[in-house]
Amino acid sequence: MLALEEGAKLKPFDRELLVFNPVSWETHLLNEGGALIVAMLADGPQTVEKIQQAYRLALPDDESRNSCDAAVVSLLSQLSHLGLIRQDPPAGRDADW
């Protein structure tokens, strides 16, 4: 399961999302795909599979399942690198991705 880092502040901005990380004091502007993922995680921990399913439903029909699923994995990696998401339970146990 993946979760949004505690204390992250979210502010919608059109179809994008501003995310403030209180640990790094950095603010990130996420595109529509990143905004979808972070908004889901703001509602509570999610599995990678559930995020991928929601991402596929939100995109146009001409996107292939494999490209959508790969895009989610890439976005999750970037969000993790920015310190905005974490494994829940914390890393060290079975990782989802």
The model's pTM is: 0.82
- Cα atoms found within 13 Å of the Cα of residue 66, Cβ hemisphere only: 0
Cβ contact 15:35 at 8 Å: yes
Domain 2-87 carries which CATH code?
1.10.10
Summarised one tens digit per residue, pLDDT across range 39-80 is: 999 999 999 999 999 999 887 666 677 888 999 999 999 999
- At 16-27, the pLDDT tens digits run 999 999 989 999
DSSP reduced 3-state for 95: coil
Tokens of 75: 């976005």
Beta bridge partners of 87: 2
All structural domains of the chain with their residue ranges: 2-87
Beta-carbon contacts of 45 under 8 Å, excluding residues fewer than 6 positions away, are: 1, 2, 3, 88
pLDDT, residue 68, reads 86
Q: Is residue 92 predicted with pLDDT exceeding 80?
A: no
